[in-house]
Structure 1
Amino acid sequence: MLGFMDYVQSAFYEASHWNRDNSYGTLNATAQALLDYDTPRGLRLHISSLAAPNFATSYTVGSVGIVDGSISYLYSSLPILTSAKSSDIDLHHVIKGYRHLRDLRRPDEDWWWEIWHSGKRIDRRDTLLYGRIFLPRSTLEALYLRRLSPTKQLKICCVSDSSLNNGGTILALLQSDVGKYSTEYMYSTDSALLGIRGLYNFGPDPRENVVAPTIPEDVVEPIHGRFSAGAELYYGILNKSGGLSTGLRFTTLPHHTGFPYTMTLTLNPLMGNLLSTYAVKAGQNLALCSRFHFNFYSYESDLQLGCELWTRRRNTDIEWAVKKLRPDWKRVTLKPDEDVTGVLKARVDQDWRIGVLWEGRIKELLFTLGASLDLKRREQIFRAIGVELQYSS
């Protein structure tokens, strides 16, 4: 489940019209959401607040052997007008699951962002600042995010920790997204790493009017899927080593009438890694995913399977609630996830390592209950078990 600060950052991206899915870095986001979730350890409590539309705070206390925690602050020049109470947050916005990609959006025009007053331009670029300190080890992480234009964004991530080389590291990303394609240029102080990556979407260009003026839009058949291809190249100046990878993705779009599904294939020729994933939304409440990894140098392989099941209230309970509210339906608004009680996730690999997660809401609290098992270790099957509770206002 997303933390409160990650939830606010997602709201910032939405408010500033930035599509995070149109990036090579998120090519395998669907499989990662269904297979790579963290299993909580021990007991952890998060208390957060969106004190003002531009300012958020979060405090975390955990107990895994020793008592630890963190303190976080976030500032956004763009007002975050979204539900902040844990009792009102849509679970679909905080629980990572099957990702339905949307149609590509035409970028805003530059002049749309201009604000003039008395003949002077007074608009400023949207900026987000975030910082978190971990206690008691005093590790500090920070994020600077600035929208440079409707198609460009600057992102700088910093970590300060005495255990790292030079006491910390800085990663800078200059991102560009015009809809049809996206590019990213990155630099990291770790090994003086330079990199570039990009993603290209085949099909119509959202910047162009693909509908002929003489043909009504409702007559044109919508596009049901999107095929994308991308690659990345990076090189470390200090250690004089580099890397290369390329990937493909096909996913169905909202107009698709059958089962939504996503397929990806990524290749790292220097390391010999081949990775393929397939995820399908098999029903309204069920999603399945598989991931196969193979190294054609060592012939080693790995297979993972996972699923997510959204649990809902019984139909009889929903029908009773609808009948009860029907006389007063004009004054009652149901939340989008009114009938959702939680999400059950499970994964297993070829070595019989199992991860189970249950996420949902109880009264005013969001909860995550998880366990990690290793069936081959008979003397200690349970590797980890824990509970996370979140409350926000």
Structure 2
Amino acid sequence: MLEFMDYVQAAFHAQSRWNVDNSYASLTTTAYNLLDFQIPQGLQLHVSSLSSPNFATSYTLGSRGVVDGSLSFLYSSLGLTVPSQSSDVRLGSLVRGYRHIKELQKPDELYLNEIWHAGRRVDRKDALLYGRLYLPTSTLEAMYLRRISPTRLLRLNCVSDDELPNGGSILALLRNDYAKYSTEYLYSTDSALLGIRGLYNFGYDPRNPEQQPSTRPPAHPWDHQNGRLSAGAEVYFSPMNKSGGVSCGLRFATLPIHSGFPYTMTLTVNPLMGNLSGTYSVKAGRDLSLSSRFDFNVYSYESDVVVGMELWQRKRQSPDTVWAHKLIRPDWQKPDEDVNGVLKARMDNNGKVGLLWECRAKELLVSLGAAFDMKKRDKMLGSVGLEVSYST
């Protein structure tokens, strides 16, 4: 389940009209959500508040053998109008599951964001500032986001820790999103790492209005009106370590116009390490999503297989309620307006199993998870964790 501060940051991206899915870094997000979900460690308690549309705070207390915690603060120049009460926040906004790829939108023109008063520009660029202090280690984490333009986003991540080389590190990331394609440039003070990423979307170009998709039925599953094929790559290099890396990938995902089951397929390749990874995720029903991933190394011939599922539980409805819902248009209904909770499960070929149950218990949000190792007969239960969150 997303922490409250991540939920607020997602609201910042949404209200500033930034498409987080149109980047190479998010190529395998759907499979990651279904197969690599985080299981709570020990007991954790989160208390958060969105005291105003521009300011949020969060406090965390945990017990993993020793008592630890953190203090978080967030400021947004853009007023965020999202539900903050834990009893009102939609579970679908906190639980990361199957991700539906939306149609690409044409970036706003620069002049549309200009506000003039008495002959002077008075508009401000949206920005977000976030800080978190971990206790008792006194590690400090900070992040700065700034919407430089409708097509550009600057992100700075900083970490201060005595155990890190030079006492900390800074990561700078400049993202450009032109809908049809996107680019990312990154630099890290850790080993002076330099990198570039890119993603290109085949088919429909939203920048050309005359190429608007027609309403005719798709001819076949690979029709660009049915889905979108994207290709991307990344290259990074560290002059200090004289080392680097490269990877490339493909993704095909269905769009909302697709009449069948939504699905997403990805293939990523790391030619230097010889790793290939393929994923297939499908939303098999209203409440059920399935995913699988196959990893293979061409040098060692080692392979791994992981399968996972996500099952949503809904409240029992009376016959009158069911009849009333049939009269309401589907696009008027919230996707999880009658959701009780969601069960996630995964298992790999090494016998490792992960289970996670996330739900709302009155005013609280609860995550309960456990990890098992089926090959260790004497100690199958690896870890158990419980996370409780409350926000106002």
- By the TM > 0.5 criterion, same fold? yes
Alignment of 1:148 with 2:148, yes or no, is yes
Secondary structure of 2:209's aligned partner: coil
Number of the residue aligned with 2:389: 390
Number of the residue aligned with 1:41: 41
Cα distance in 2 for partners of 1:150, 1:49 equals 29
Number of the residue aligned with 2:170: 170
Alignment map for 1:214-225 (pairs within 5 Å): 218=215, 223-225=225-227
Give ranges in structure 2 of 5+ residues lacking alignment: 219-223
Any runs of at least 4 consecutive aligned residues in structure 1 with deviations exceeding 2 A, and if so which? 216-222, 317-326, 333-338
Maintained 8 Å contact 1:131/1:141 = yes
Distance change >3 Å, CA 20–CA 325, structure 1 → 2: closer
Cα distance in 2 for partners of 1:324, 1:288 equals 30
Maintained 8 Å contact 1:186/1:195 = yes
Maintained 8 Å contact 1:359/1:369 = yes
Secondary structure of 1:34's aligned partner: helix
Alignment map for 1:345-384 (pairs within 5 Å): 345-384=344-383
Number of the residue aligned with 1:132: 132
Cα distance in 2 for partners of 1:372, 1:323 equals 41
The alpha-carbon deviation at position 307 of structure 1 amounts to 0.3
Alignment of 1:97 with 2:71, yes or no, is no
The alpha-carbon deviation at position 321 of structure 1 amounts to 4.7
Secondary structure of 1:264's aligned partner: strand
Cα distance in 1 for partners of 2:169, 2:382 equals 31
The alpha-carbon deviation at position 337 of structure 1 amounts to 2.2
TM-score by length of 2: 0.94
Number of the residue aligned with 2:120: 120
Alignment of 1:288 with 2:290, yes or no, is yes
After superposition, what is the alpha-carbon deviation per residue over 1:343-393, rounded to whole angstroms, capped at 9, x for unaligned?
000000001000000011010111100000001112211111011011111
CA RMSD across the alignment: 1.9
Secondary structure of 1:105's aligned partner: coil
After superposition, what is the alpha-carbon deviation per residue over 1:218-250, rounded to whole angstroms, capped at 9, x for unaligned?
568681100000000000010000100000000
Cα distance in 2 for partners of 1:9, 1:203 equals 31
Cα distance in 1 for partners of 2:211, 2:376 equals 60
The alpha-carbon deviation at position 152 of structure 1 amounts to 0.5
Alignment map for 1:1-393 (pairs within 5 Å): 1-211=1-211, 218=215, 223-314=225-316, 317-321=317-321, 336-393=335-392
Maintained 8 Å contact 1:367/1:390 = yes
Cα distance in 2 for partners of 1:233, 1:319 equals 57
Cα distance in 2 for partners of 1:288, 1:361 equals 23
Cα distance in 2 for partners of 1:4, 1:320 equals 36
Give ranges in structure 1 of 5+ residues lacking alignment: none
Maintained 8 Å contact 2:158/2:170 = yes
Maintained 8 Å contact 2:308/2:345 = yes
After superposition, what is the alpha-carbon deviation per residue over 1:3-29, rounded to whole angstroms, capped at 9, x for unaligned?
000000000000000000000000000
After superposition, what is the alpha-carbon deviation per residue over 1:300-339, rounded to whole angstroms, capped at 9, x for unaligned?
111100000011122xx2435568999xx9xxx9865231
Identity, % of aligned positions: 60
Cα distance in 2 for partners of 1:220, 1:108 equals 29
Cα distance in 2 for partners of 1:232, 1:254 equals 28
Secondary structure of 1:228's aligned partner: strand
Letter in 1 for 2:112: W
After superposition, what is the alpha-carbon deviation per residue over 1:16-71, rounded to whole angstroms, capped at 9, x for unaligned?
00000000000000010001111112211100000000000000001111111000
TM-score by length of 1: 0.94
